[in-house]
Structure 1
Amino acid sequence: MKKILIAFIIFGGFTLNGCTKFLDLPPKNQRAVTTLNDVKSVLSGYLDAFARTNTRPIVGPIPIVTEEHNMMFESYADNIDFVANLNRYIAPNNTKNEQFYANKFLFNDIATTDAIWNTHYQAIGFLNALIDQCDELVEADSEELRRVKGEMLVHRAYYIFKLQQYFAPMNKEELGIPLYLHTGKEVVGIRMMRKRSSEIYDVLTGDLKVALQYYKEVGPNSGYSRFFNDRYIQNLLAQVYWFKAESASKQNEDYQFAKEYALGAIEGVDGYIPKTTLEFQTVQKNRNPDYPAFYQESIAFGSVGPIYGSNLDYIGFSPNNLKVSTDFHSSFDATDIRLSAYFTGTNISSNWPDGLTPVQKYIRIHLFAPEEAYLILAEAYHRLGETDLALGVLNKFKSFRGASQKSGLSGQTLLDEIIKERRKEFFGDTDKRWLDLKRYANVTIDRRFTFFGKTYAVKVEPNSSYYALPIPLSELQENPDLIPNEGWNPIIF
């Protein structure tokens, strides 16, 4: 039997740079993983961060979308009026300096981009090793083995999907991410080139369907499983097919699959979706144990305050009284429960996102939320020509939020309303608005700022190169086979 020697992955992996090194993990050091219990023991050091708040995993980012990650993507989007708010961000009573905001607002946050690349590939390499070992455990309990392997397949698919969304252009099939799914002696010397995007999507859908089949066969281990959940797996499959359907890898059946899996993800959830502002905020602070999504939060309160408003704004700290874009604020009906959750007047509320005072400003993440599946379903029906069903799902969703019902919508007008609903629902939610801008290619961002006494202009048009994040320079230097993403010229202030 092949043995995976895991200490190298856990202890040495943090010092490495480059996806080649994270994905190509030849065995070193001493600890052998030879049984299913060994695999579960090592994996638990990673899964612990998904079971308890404020626990750091042995590998990968914590939370799975970090504070810097969230703030970068919101800064690269169009919800907040950063130009109008600049004097509130760069103020004497703000703990963040001018450099922080210059990097965020001018699409120059290279440190965060590098961290995403490295931590995501690090987690993939770790999971590769354990998945490989699962395939060697022929004498293990077959049901528990499928549970453990299924868990890892879903986690690995999540990281692969995010890397593909972030670093692969939408319209260039040949420029998918580099990927290899094994570890050990068989991959020594492999050339880590960019895959075709369709190959990446085949891996994602294939692995997630295997995990879903495992779930149907054996069900979860309730004390151990985290992502190994049929609703979560179907939600992620719906996301993958939905995103793929507008990419260069699109296939005729993508929206049909997105519809199928979105329907599976929302089955029986209507009673758990919040329908008042209080219920909405209760979900945001994870006080509703029946809400059917996976929750994580950041390690320290105030962690996203530099972009969304200081958690100490009630005693005068900046930034405070932040304005969002006029078109965004005006898109909310007066009866919409999200209006009072997000805003005080036209400013971002001090109590956003959870209604707590003094405000906590945690990263609050709900992965695989049913609301996302609902809006994917509405768009899938629309794209498949099932207009009445699309409008019915959209209006049902609006009813959850107290928003006005729509009638007579079809074609682009209906799609625009679905996109608008996504923007309202997912304000400040991880990477969603930036990914929508990338996928729908329907907005131009045009900014002009003065930083350090010099004026800078940045214009991000639909399908811009800014929607494929820059591959880390260290990666390009170490991997001559890797084609860089075009258009990124780091600013040195």
Structure 2
Amino acid sequence: MKKIVIYIALCCTLINKGCKDFLDLPPKNQRAVTTLDDVKSVLAGYLDMFARSNTSPIVGQAPIMNEAQNMMFEAYADNFDFAGNMGQYINPKNIHGIEKLYANKLLFNDMETSDNIWNNYYAVIGFLNALIDQSDELTQGDPSELKRVKGEMLVHRAYYIFKLQQYFAPMDKEDRGIPLYLHTGKEVVGIEMKRWKSADVYKVVIDDLKQALAFYQSEGGNPGYSRFFNGRFIQNLLAQVYWFKAESSARQAEDYTEARNYALAAIDGVDAYIPNTLTAFQNVQRNLNTEYPAVYMQSLNFGNVGAIYGSPYDYLGFAPANLKVDPGFLESFDNDDIRKAAYFNGAVLSSTWPDGMPNGPKYVRIHLFTPEEAYLILAESYCRLNQNEQALATLNKFKGFRGATAKNNLNNEQLLREIISERRKEFFCDTDKRWLDLKRYRLGTMQRKLKFFDKEFDIKVEAGGYHYALPIPLTELQENPHIVPNEGWNPIIF
């Protein structure tokens, strides 16, 4: 049997390599992986970050979306009144962010963060490719455990491929999917890392997830080891993939039916775990509800998102504080909605968001595969399938969890608008969700007229425009002659 050798720790020099280096070249030195226990041991060095917040993985990043990404996606969205907050951001009492940070993020110029997403996510895909290849060659070991381990890896790989496709592929250009290669260490000569058709990328993601789901349904999980290898989580992610794909160039007639079916499976039996009081809602944010059915991750860097979301030391007079949001967004909340009490203090962002703690602790807190996301995908899928009665019932049931007022007598168009509004309220400050909604629904134009370094900038982001496909890193374009860039991006030099 041919041995494949796995990195225990990636060399820092890999950071500037293109995706081809991660996807088609055999890893080098450090440790031979020849048995199932070897595979599990190496994979555990990556999975441990999903079990403990104080662990740095052997590949990738922890949390799976870091502070810079979280702030970039919010800065690229429309929830905050950034012009109205400039006096707080560019402020001598602000210890959380320098002017260049705000200029890059608020002017859609954060090339460093988008480069890091590309490099980090492709690095993990390459790592998983090597382990999956090796697991396919194993002839010894418990067959059930091998399926569990391979299923775990397939879900993780599918997740990273899906996120890269969401971030870097335009919605309406079928030939501009991400470049992809699914093996390592073999057949590497002559590979051209071209951009795939989006439909082909989605097929890989869906096939991997369906294979993992079949493994789970036949073998079950390993509670002491499995992280993403969970039937509910896999079906939640499948619902997300079909839902997002349904509005892309790769759409197929059955997408919303599939999204509906997988979302139904993902929410089966979860109602008792969805918070319906302010305290319960905040406890989920703090990961105090250990039965809440989602994967939780938290950053370790206290206050590192304060630059965008507000200083954790605002009670001492530090800026930014009392941050304004878009007035229309604020007005969209019902008075008894528990999210309004969690997010806001009057008309400004509450310093206690996200978790209600005194003095407003500010960490990146992430929940993956939440039942709330599956509920809203289900409501929209019913709506898109012209099953308006079921869509409205699902939406109103969800609103009931949050203390929001039920809606009645909505036509199909009104119902869709209400679902989009509900998503915006539910996922406020949640990772990449509002930016992806702006992209997927092709929502309205954003105009940023802001002053940095004594110069006026006027940035216009059109609905469905190029800003919704992140720029491919310059190093990738230089090293990979086969890749086509995402047009429109011209970095600003300050």
| Paired position in structure 2 for 1:299 | 300
The C-alpha deviation readout for 1:359-403, integer Å capped at 9, x for no partner, is: 211111000000000000000000001000000000000000000
Calculate percent identity across the aligned residue pairs: 65
Task: Tell whether the 8 Å contact from 2:26 to 2:184 is kept in structure 1 after alignment.
Answer: yes
Task: Tell whether the 8 Å contact from 1:311 to 1:359 is kept in structure 2 after alignment.
Answer: yes
1:38-437 equivalences under 5 Å are 38-95=38-95, 96-437=97-438
State the 1:189 CA deviation: 3.4
The secondary structure found in structure 2 opposite 1:267 is coil
**Partner Cα distance (2:444, 2:15) in 1:** 39
Task: Tell whether the 8 Å contact from 2:8 to 2:58 is kept in structure 1 after alignment.
Answer: no
**Partner Cα distance (1:13, 1:205) in 2:** 33
**Partner Cα distance (2:102, 2:492) in 1:** 13
The secondary structure found in structure 1 opposite 2:83 is coil
Per the normalisation by structure 1, the TM-score is 0.99
Q: Aligned pair in 2 of structure 1 residues 15, 332: CA closer, same or farther (>3 Å)?
A: closer
Task: Tell whether the 8 Å contact from 1:75 to 1:104 is kept in structure 2 after alignment.
Answer: yes
**Partner Cα distance (2:277, 2:91) in 1:** 36
State the 1:187 CA deviation: 1.9
State the 1:136 CA deviation: 0.3
The C-alpha deviation readout for 1:281-323, integer Å capped at 9, x for no partner, is: 0000000001111100011111211101011111011100000
State the 1:8 CA deviation: 7.5
| Paired position in structure 2 for 1:34 | 34
**Partner Cα distance (1:39, 1:64) in 2:** 21
State the 1:27 CA deviation: 4.6
1:434-449 equivalences under 5 Å are 434-449=435-450
Partner amino acid, structure 1, of 2:240 = Q
Partner amino acid, structure 1, of 2:450 = F
Task: Tell whether the 8 Å contact from 1:13 to 1:22 is kept in structure 2 after alignment.
Answer: no
**Partner Cα distance (2:47, 2:261) in 1:** 29
The C-alpha deviation readout for 1:55-92, integer Å capped at 9, x for no partner, is: 11010121001100000000000000000100110000
The secondary structure found in structure 1 opposite 2:458 is strand
Greater mean alpha carbon deviation, residues 185-194 or residues 264-273: 185-194
State the 1:9 CA deviation: 6.9
Task: Tell whether the 8 Å contact from 1:16 to 1:22 is kept in structure 2 after alignment.
Answer: no
**Partner Cα distance (1:263, 1:13) in 2:** 45
State the 1:410 CA deviation: 1.7
State the 1:12 CA deviation: 6.7
Partner amino acid, structure 1, of 2:87 = N
**Partner Cα distance (2:143, 2:319) in 1:** 56
State the 1:13 CA deviation: 7.0
Partner amino acid, structure 2, of 1:58 = I
Q: Structure 1: which 5+ residue stretches go unaligned?
A: none
| Paired position in structure 1 for 2:465 | 464
Partner amino acid, structure 1, of 2:282 = Q
Partner amino acid, structure 2, of 1:251 = Q
**Partner Cα distance (1:458, 1:74) in 2:** 16
**Partner Cα distance (2:41, 2:23) in 1:** 21
**Partner Cα distance (1:438, 1:33) in 2:** 41
State the 1:358 CA deviation: 2.0
Q: Say how many residue pairs are matched.
A: 493
Task: Tell whether the 8 Å contact from 2:16 to 2:475 is kept in structure 1 after alignment.
Answer: no
RMSD between aligned residues:
1.1
State the 1:11 CA deviation: 4.0
**Partner Cα distance (2:475, 2:69) in 1:** 20
Partner amino acid, structure 2, of 1:87 = G
Partner amino acid, structure 2, of 1:214 = F
State the 1:444 CA deviation: 1.0
The secondary structure found in structure 2 opposite 1:186 is coil
The secondary structure found in structure 2 opposite 1:456 is strand
State the 1:185 CA deviation: 2.9
Greater mean alpha carbon deviation, residues 29-38 or residues 266-275: 29-38
**Partner Cα distance (2:417, 2:126) in 1:** 40
* Runs of 4+ with >6 A deviation: none
Partner amino acid, structure 2, of 1:67 = E
Partner amino acid, structure 1, of 2:183 = H
Task: Tell whether the 8 Å contact from 2:8 to 2:42 is kept in structure 1 after alignment.
Answer: no
Greater mean alpha carbon deviation, residues 12-21 or residues 434-443: 12-21
The C-alpha deviation readout for 1:211-235, integer Å capped at 9, x for no partner, is: 0000001111110000000000000
Greater mean alpha carbon deviation, residues 244-253 or residues 17-26: 17-26
Task: Tell whether the 8 Å contact from 2:242 to 2:258 is kept in structure 1 after alignment.
Answer: yes
The C-alpha deviation readout for 1:405-461, integer Å capped at 9, x for no partner, is: 000012211100000000000000000000000000122111100111110011111
Per the normalisation by structure 2, the TM-score is 0.98
**Partner Cα distance (1:13, 1:129) in 2:** 19
Task: Tell whether the 8 Å contact from 2:15 to 2:119 is kept in structure 1 after alignment.
Answer: no
Partner amino acid, structure 2, of 1:117 = W
The C-alpha deviation readout for 1:228-284, integer Å capped at 9, x for no partner, is: 000000000000000000000000000000000000000000010000111000000
Q: Aligned pair in 2 of structure 1 residues 12, 359: CA closer, same or farther (>3 Å)?
A: closer
State the 1:34 CA deviation: 0.3
State the 1:3 CA deviation: 1.0
Q: Aligned pair in 2 of structure 1 residues 334, 474: CA closer, same or farther (>3 Å)?
A: same
Task: Tell whether the 8 Å contact from 1:9 to 1:25 is kept in structure 2 after alignment.
Answer: no
**Partner Cα distance (2:383, 2:27) in 1:** 50
Greater mean alpha carbon deviation, residues 104-113 or residues 16-25: 16-25
The secondary structure found in structure 1 opposite 2:187 is helix
